Structure 1
Amino acid sequence: MASEHYHFTAGFNLAPDEPDLTVLFSGEGKPVPGHKMGPSVHDYYLIHTVMDGKGVFQSGSNSHVCGTGDTFVIFPGALFSYQADMEQPWTYVWVALQGEAVQQLFKEVGITPDKPLIHLDNLIEIHNLYEHIRFSFQQSAYPRLESLEASGWLRLLVHKFGLANIGSLTPKSAQLPDVIDRQINQAIRWISLQFHQQISIDHMASSLGYHRAHLSKAFKQKIGMSPKQYLLKVRMDKAKELLGGTLTIDQVSSSVGFNDALYFSKQFRKWSGMSPSEYRNHLRSGT
């Protein structure tokens, strides 16, 4: 392989065991004029970004002339070939990956088997990301940690693909929620993740940049309850879940955002018609 390139370097993952997304290897090279790969198929995804020069990428029956800034993606099982130009052979960087989440990740940034090409402009930044991926495999005696680092850099690279390709995304993936929906979704997310804290609805609205009255009105119109009522529902639903385990009542109370276990018990009885102890006994008895 190296003899067919003016220069060639690569790094390989020694612990490629992440099921969702794992980088297999990454490299950089400048092949000799006319150098060709394929026709063949791979059982992994392979991304190439052209740093300079040009060549031809063939995917199925489609042929694409690729130059500086062009990126092409080879999908598993797809017949492909690519060949360096005879006059201006390309220099490219590449990364191979596999995993259950990869196809959906590519789809979300507009890369599909039918649309395997995008164009990138900020090549210095892109080249740095490829280098970070490759160098991940040359730093330590801990391959598992190297694999995790490479996956992180790969996600940043795909993020850049999405920014470059945003104009060609499908309406569903590109459409942003309207302002009201975004406000409500942010508030729901906040409550769902912070319910165990001493949440102030005023503070939440202010932190999100909204007026409390406006947010509360929109929230109730969409959800059917106020933010305060929704917070109580989230806490009580979580309390019911925790009461099925081994935590004490005090520990359950603290875990769902109540500093006072007696006040928690009072609120729980109002919500469920039973005290926390009665609810726990009900669960254990199966009645």
Structure 2
Amino acid sequence: MGGPSMNLEHSYFTASFNLVPEEQDIAVLFSGEGRPVPGHKIGPSVHDYFLIHTVLDGEGFFQSGNVSRHCRTGDTFVIYPGSLFSYQADKDSPWHYVWVALQGEAVTALLSDAGITKERPLLHSGNPSELHSLYEHIRLAFQQSPYPRLESLEASGWTRLLLHQFGLANLSVLPARPKEMPEVIDRQIDQAIRWISLQFHQQISIDHMAATLGYHRVHLSKAFKQKTGLSPKQYLLKMRMDKARELLGGTLTIDQVASSVGFNDALYFSKQFRKYTGMPPSEYRAVLREG
């Protein structure tokens, strides 16, 4: 962990570094804050990681590829891996900024979800103090405690919140849902699919689910079937039977399999399983083991 300091290039500088940046999807490498001296310049150069800066006050100039911008308070610029870049503090009103460096398989997609791309690496936020707080949380996560992996996990969590704020500041460039998209392909139907997919082992009431999502059961069932080809009840049964077939390949008893897929009565489960697959669970298990 770095502490505040003064050097020839900054009137104020502090940074913290991740000792174990092992997350595959998004990992923080380091984060910091600084006040460069007037005219201080970085680049032209390239990095092999993402580097995000947000200007808290002052001014400076950023260039990457075909993009160049005079940046002021509230502006954020993103440097992409392998992209030639440079940035320089204004000579009269040098910027004060915070930064975070990232790597990971999901970073490009997460930035895109927030409206940031390699071709559009800048955004403006009307509330830089809120962003500053998130950057501080990221930097202060690295306290060199005995638990560096927990520190890394915390920092990546705060980073996701930072990207969320970028998205809120960038709503005007986020892709809108096409007007011609049918009503059945909306978030509520997707919610119903996720609900059943993740909760099939519970006692699900289709009536309750429909009411929670703001639908009449008949309307939900019609819309659900248009998207999936199955009614909610049929989809629920399919999820349960598919999981049951998977579990029957293991060591659970028939009773335990039944309970694991949402059936309190093992005999009723066996009846439904036979109706669905053409054989009782015990026979299905025997066939699996013979194969």
TM-score normalized by the length of structure 2: 0.93
Q: Distance in 2 between matches of 1:47 and 1:224?
A: 44
Aligned Cα root-mean-square deviation (Å): 1.6
Which residue of the other structure, out of 258, 265, 268, is the alignment partner of 2:270? Answer: 265
Identical aligned residues as a percent:
73
| 2:81 is aligned with 1:76 | yes
Specify the alignment match of 2:171 in structure 1. 166
Q: Distance in 1 between matches of 2:96 and 2:77?
A: 13
Q: Distance in 1 between matches of 2:251 and 2:221?
A: 36
The residue type equivalent to 1:44 in the other structure is Y
Residue ranges of structure 1 left out of the alignment (5+ in a row): none
State which drifts further: 132-141 or 259-268. Answer: 132-141
Specify the alignment match of 2:245 in structure 1. 240
The residue type equivalent to 1:12 in the other structure is F
The residue type equivalent to 2:100 in the other structure is V
Specify the alignment match of 1:11 in structure 2. 16
- Corresponding residue SS for 2:62: strand
Q: Distance in 1 between matches of 2:67 and 2:205?
A: 58
Q: Is contact 2:55–2:76 with CA below 8 Å preserved after alignment? A: yes
Task: Name the structure where helix makes up a greater proportion of residues.
Answer: 1
Post-superposition Cα deviations, 1:72-124, rounded to whole Å, max 9, x if no partner, equal: 00011111111000110000000001111111211222211111101111112
Q: Is contact 2:67–2:119 with CA below 8 Å preserved after alignment? A: no
| 2:216 is aligned with 1:211 | yes
Residue ranges of structure 2 left out of the alignment (5+ in a row): 1-5
Specify the alignment match of 1:87 in structure 2. 92
Specify the alignment match of 1:30 in structure 2. 35
Q: Distance in 2 between matches of 1:166 and 1:263?
A: 51
How far off its partner does 1:213 sit?
2.0
The residue type equivalent to 2:184 in the other structure is I
Q: Distance in 1 between matches of 2:66 and 2:243?
A: 55
Name the CA shift for 1:221/1:40 in 2 (closer, same or farther; >3 Å): closer
Which residue of the other structure, out of 128, 147, 156, is the alignment partner of 2:133? Answer: 128
Specify the alignment match of 1:45 in structure 2. 50
The residue type equivalent to 1:251 in the other structure is Q
- Corresponding residue SS for 1:245: coil
TM-score normalized by the length of structure 1: 0.94
- Corresponding residue SS for 2:117: coil
- Corresponding residue SS for 1:192: helix
How far off its partner does 1:170 sit?
3.8
The residue type equivalent to 1:285 in the other structure is E
- Corresponding residue SS for 1:65: strand
How far off its partner does 1:6 sit?
1.1
How far off its partner does 1:159 sit?
0.9
Which residue of the other structure, out of 78, 98, 103, is the alignment partner of 1:98? Answer: 103
Q: Is contact 2:200–2:261 with CA below 8 Å preserved after alignment? A: yes
The residue type equivalent to 1:227 in the other structure is P
How far off its partner does 1:281 sit?
0.8
How far off its partner does 1:168 sit?
1.4
User: Residues 55-66 of structure 1: matches in 2 within 5 Å?
Assistant: 55-66=60-71
The residue type equivalent to 1:181 in the other structure is I
Specify the alignment match of 1:181 in structure 2. 185
Q: Distance in 2 between matches of 1:83 and 1:225?
A: 58
Q: How many residues align?
A: 284
How far off its partner does 1:141 sit?
2.2
Post-superposition Cα deviations, 1:157-212, rounded to whole Å, max 9, x if no partner, equal: 011111111211245xx559654322321111111110000111111112222221
How far off its partner does 1:225 sit?
2.6
